[in-house]
Amino acid sequence: MDVKLLSFPADCPPLSVIVAAKIAGITSPADSSLPSGSAPTFLFSSGLKLHGTSVLLRYIGRVANIPNFYGQNAYESSQIDEWLEYAPILSSGSAFESACSYVDKYLERCTFLVGHSLSVADVAVWSGLAGTGQRWESLRKSKKYPNLQRWFNSLLAEYCVDLDDVLTTYVGKRGGKSSGAKLKDQQGLSQKTNSVSQDTSDKGKQGSRSTFEVDLPNAEFGKVRLRFAPEPSGYLHIGHSKAALLNQYFAQRYNGEVIIRFDDTNPAKESNEFVENLLKDIETLGIKYETVTYTSDYFPQLMEMAENLIRQGKAYVDDTPREQMQKERMEGIESKHRSNSPEENLRLWKEMILGTEKGLLCCLRGKLDMQDPNKSLRDPVYYRCNPIPHHRIGSMYKIYPTYDFCCPFVDSIEGITHALRSSEYHDRNAQYYRIQEDMGLRKVHIYEFSRLNLVYTLLSKRKLLWFVQNGKVDGWDDPRFPTVQGIVRRGLKIEALIQFILEQGASKNLNLMEWDKLWTINKKIIDPVCPRHTAVVEERRVLFTLDNGPEKPFVRVIPKHKKYEAAGEKSTTFTKGILIDQVDAQCIKVDEEITLMDWGNAIVKRIEKDQDGYVTQMSGILHLEGSVKTTKLKATWLPDINELVTLSLMEFDYLITKKKLDEGEDFLDALNPCTKKETVALGDSNMRNLKRGDILQLERKGYFRCDVPYVRPSKPIVLFAIPDGRQQACLK
């Protein structure tokens, strides 16, 4: 039974019904000719009708081919019904802000209003906000309700195409620009959903990715061939990830292909270790490529091309010292060897190939234009001598081509149609095209995108290598590093990285991005699914004796995540003596009633402190009939038993102390002296089962990734703190 027609009054379109139908893929003509005050109506092909916004939403929720759109069980469906009854309050002028405050507080610990995926409850409340137009837009800009803003923006980004269409049609007409249009203006591109990699789990954030509509110049569908060409001189970092994912995006969009090419022309910096780990990181990103090639595969052809250019008078051998050559290029002064005959150049070229004493002093330069205002065209170096063995081909060669020479050559002969390059290479684009022209090769189109820069972050492989070689970090996968392996080891889900990068789009504007946004996306992915555990800081932990507590310990099995059954269960032991954090004990007063999480209320009767004011022990009584709503402190606790495990909680800070280094500033002057902090804690015995890479939440302490699992009682479980998007405090 299909919906034949949606009817409603022109002055009151049922925004939530229209949005829900759009997302659910239910298409039907709309008739806005009903009298003012009439209820919206579905007319079915059978002639039957349904009336009323909530009724129509429930119908869409039941028939939509979207998991749990109307809840996964009777309880969740009833929760959705509650929200459908609540949503109309948003259109009540006097109650609007109090309603915003209520929903904002509710969303403090939730990604969605009901369950762990989008439902018609989210649609109803979202549409209620959007339907108020400028009133909600003003509040959204003010950031007065951060959780509500996060949730609203998340749905807007996720379903941008559908939502923007509805907002432009129905909200925009009431005056002012729609929310969707404003989002487009802010990002400078039109977003849509695109699945790039799988979600953390079926219960995680529903898997769509923000991408963009940007055209490659002269691209033909089915004929686009792209390359991702890292130099194997380090591990893949977050900046490289943007280039890799943009290549994949355009290949998918044009039904083309991507190849991986290792630009291995500098044996002094490169190694097989880097090749292997780059391939590992590319696989981690989910990049699908046709083949792997190496620039070194083309060394014979490159040498032949260089020799041809020498014969044609388009290249010459120069022994000018490097510093003098740089000075002459800056000042537009021609080398004294620029007018050497091809025969003399070929003779010196042979000396370079053999690596003789004379040859080692020379380089091969292109004869372009020493007067060009674009200094990259002032006779760039094509080849240099380097007697160091190559990691793939050993000592076969004593000379190696520069990136400027080999890139336009290999791009062309490998059939690359479009070379994606970051805008920092903009001034060298003319050089790229000129060299291809001199070589007589097919032109490859260059497409520029902005380099991804992040605050407090070094992306230069040379600088990162310094940290590794000087023992400032534990390797290229150190959790303080911006490498893919480093940030994944710290607890970043790769789908969060993909979403973050694709949301930046293919813009050419240079931006300095905050890490907070990336970690906020990550939190939205891990929070709905990661298990909850309990820890108490070892230092000055406090024994709290419950006078009427259980004489004999007993065990209950409770869920690891109250809203996600698949997280599993854990055993919790209840005892007369329990351990709490010193920081919590400091907040408690005598006769205060507190809530012991996952147990109930207790009343504190006695507090003992040492001469420094630290609490040493406490006693009190259980008051399980007390209301958790009336207590200020919801305390985490552990039973005082021998089965607890020792934890090493690791927090990390940025490697440098400046958001952005100034031009010419030495990064060594901005090193952060304290980038790692360890806190010893006790954890519940269930953490014995953690595996390396598992992500969990320690209640009231944050999210963590297990780096070293349980081995034996004397060796702690090592947990790395995962940032949650809130402003990071400096470590002391």
In 474-614 the beta strands, taken as DSSP E runs, fall at 511-513, 532-533, 535-537, 542-546, 554-559, 569-574, 577-580, 593-596, 600-609
What does the buried/exposed string (b/e) look like for 365-382 if buried means 16 or more CB atoms within 10 Å of the residue's CB? bbbbebeeeeebbbbbbb
Report if residue 434 sits inside a domain. no
Q: What is the structure's pLDDT at 504? A: 76
Q: Is the pLDDT of residue 110 over 90?
A: no
Q: Is the pLDDT of residue 185 over 50?
A: no
Q: What is the structure's pLDDT at 162? A: 75
pLDDT band at residue 93 under the 50/70/90 scheme: low
Same domain, yes or no: 661 and 691:
yes
Same domain, yes or no: 496 and 366:
no
DSSP H/E element including 497: helix 494-504
Q: What is the structure's pLDDT at 155? A: 87
DSSP H/E element including 363: strand 363-366
Same domain, yes or no: 87 and 39:
yes
Same domain, yes or no: 33 and 51:
yes
Q: What is the structure's pLDDT at 301? A: 98
CATH of residue 41's domain is 1.20.1050.130
Q: What is the structure's pLDDT at 527? A: 93
Displacement of CA 407 from its chain's centroid (Å):
30
User: Torsion angle, CA of 67/70/72/78, rounded to 10 degrees?
Assistant: 170
How far apart CA 445 and CA 462 sit, in angstroms, is 29
Q: What is the structure's pLDDT at 727? A: 59
Same domain, yes or no: 625 and 651:
no
Domain boundary among 119, 141, 169: 169
> What is the phi/psi pair of residue 424, to 5°?
-65, -20
Report if residue 443 sits inside a domain. no
- Yes or no: say if 634 and 597 are a contact pair by the CB < 8 Å rule: yes
pLDDT digits (tens, 9 = 90+) for 590-606: 999 999 999 999 999 99
3-state secondary structure of 225: strand
* Residue from 581, 588, 477, 585 nearest 536 by CA: 581
* Residue from 625, 607, 624, 603 nearest 616 by CA: 607
How far apart CA 355 and CA 399 sit, in angstroms, is 8
How far apart CA 615 and CA 276 sit, in angstroms, is 53
Q: What is the structure's pLDDT at 730? A: 58
Domain boundary among 141, 169, 197: 169
For the chain, give the mean pLDDT: 89
Q: What is the secondary structure of 176-209 as a DSSP string?
A: S--HHHHHHHHHTS---B---S--SSTTSS----
Place of tokens 């958790």: 628
User: Torsion angle, CA of 70/74/76/81, rounded to 10 degrees?
Assistant: 70
Report if residue 207 sits inside a domain. no
Domain boundary among 144, 169, 194: 169
Same domain, yes or no: 36 and 119:
yes
Same domain, yes or no: 658 and 513:
yes
Displacement of CA 166 from its chain's centroid (Å):
29
Least confident segment among 346-350, 449-453, 714-718: 449-453
Same domain, yes or no: 10 and 131:
yes
How far apart CA 475 and CA 649 sit, in angstroms, is 20
Q: What is the structure's pLDDT at 507? A: 64
Can you name the residues that pair with 647 across neighbouring β-strands? Answer: 681, 717
- Going by their DSSP bridges, the two strands 554-559 and 569-574 should be labelled as antiparallel
Q: Is the pLDDT of residue 45 over 90?
A: no
- Yes or no: say if 366 and 379 are a contact pair by the CB < 8 Å rule: yes
pLDDT band at residue 181 under the 50/70/90 scheme: very low
Report if residue 431 sits inside a domain. no
Helices (H) and strands (E) in the chain, counts: 21, 31
Range of the domain at 465: 454-540+642-731
Which structure tokens are listed for 95? Answer: 């109650």
How far apart CA 586 and CA 320 sit, in angstroms, is 72
- Yes or no: say if 658 and 456 are a contact pair by the CB < 8 Å rule: yes
Q: Is the pLDDT of residue 213 over 60?
A: no
* Residue from 629, 635, 649, 499 nearest 193 by CA: 499
* Residue from 226, 301, 232, 300 nearest 263 by CA: 232
CATH of residue 366's domain is 3.90.800.10
Which structure tokens are listed for 398? Answer: 């004593």
pLDDT band at residue 156 under the 50/70/90 scheme: confident
How far apart CA 653 and CA 726 sit, in angstroms, is 13
Same domain, yes or no: 594 and 505:
no
Q: Looking at the 3D structure of the chain, how many domains does it have? A: 4
How far apart CA 374 and CA 544 sit, in angstroms, is 74
- Going by their DSSP bridges, the two strands 292-294 and 315-318 should be labelled as unpaired
Which structure tokens are listed for 362? Answer: 């020379």
Report if residue 353 sits inside a domain. yes
Which structure tokens are listed for 544? Answer: 């709290």
Classify burial at 731, counting beta carbons within 10 Å of its beta carbon; exposed 0-12, middle 13-18, buried 19 or more: middle
Same domain, yes or no: 662 and 533:
yes
Q: What is the secondary structure of 426-485 as a DSSP string?
A: GGGHHHHHHHHHHHT----EEEEE--EEETT----HHHHHHHHHTTSSSSTT-TTS-BHH
pLDDT digits (tens, 9 = 90+) for 610-625: 999 999 999 999 999 9
Same domain, yes or no: 71 and 34:
yes
- Yes or no: say if 245 and 224 are a contact pair by the CB < 8 Å rule: no
Q: Annotate 261-303 with three-state secondary structure.
A: EECCCCCCCCCHHHHHHHHHHHHHCCCCCCCEEEHHHHHHHHH
Same domain, yes or no: 42 and 144:
yes
How far apart CA 700 and CA 694 sit, in angstroms, is 18
pLDDT digits (tens, 9 = 90+) for 387-428: 999 999 999 999 999 999 999 999 999 999 999 998 888 899
- Yes or no: say if 657 and 670 are a contact pair by the CB < 8 Å rule: yes
How far apart CA 51 and CA 39 sit, in angstroms, is 6
CATH of residue 494's domain is 2.40.240.10
Using CA of residue 605, residue 611, residue 615, residue 618, what is the dihedral sign? negative
Report if residue 503 sits inside a domain. yes
Q: What is the structure's pLDDT at 187? A: 30
Q: Is the pLDDT of residue 193 over 70?
A: no
- Yes or no: say if 136 and 174 are a contact pair by the CB < 8 Å rule: no
Q: Is the pLDDT of residue 542 over 90?
A: yes
pLDDT digits (tens, 9 = 90+) for 454-512: 999 999 999 999 999 999 999 999 999 999 999 999 999 999 998 888 777 666 666 78
How far apart CA 702 and CA 686 sit, in angstroms, is 17
Report if residue 281 sits inside a domain. no
- Yes or no: say if 571 and 553 are a contact pair by the CB < 8 Å rule: no
Report if residue 669 sits inside a domain. yes
What mean pLDDT is predicted for residues 18-29? 88
442's CB contacts (< 8 A; 6+ apart) are 412, 436
Least confident segment among 93-102, 637-646, 682-691: 93-102
- Yes or no: say if 449 and 507 are a contact pair by the CB < 8 Å rule: yes
Which structure tokens are listed for 18? Answer: 């229209």
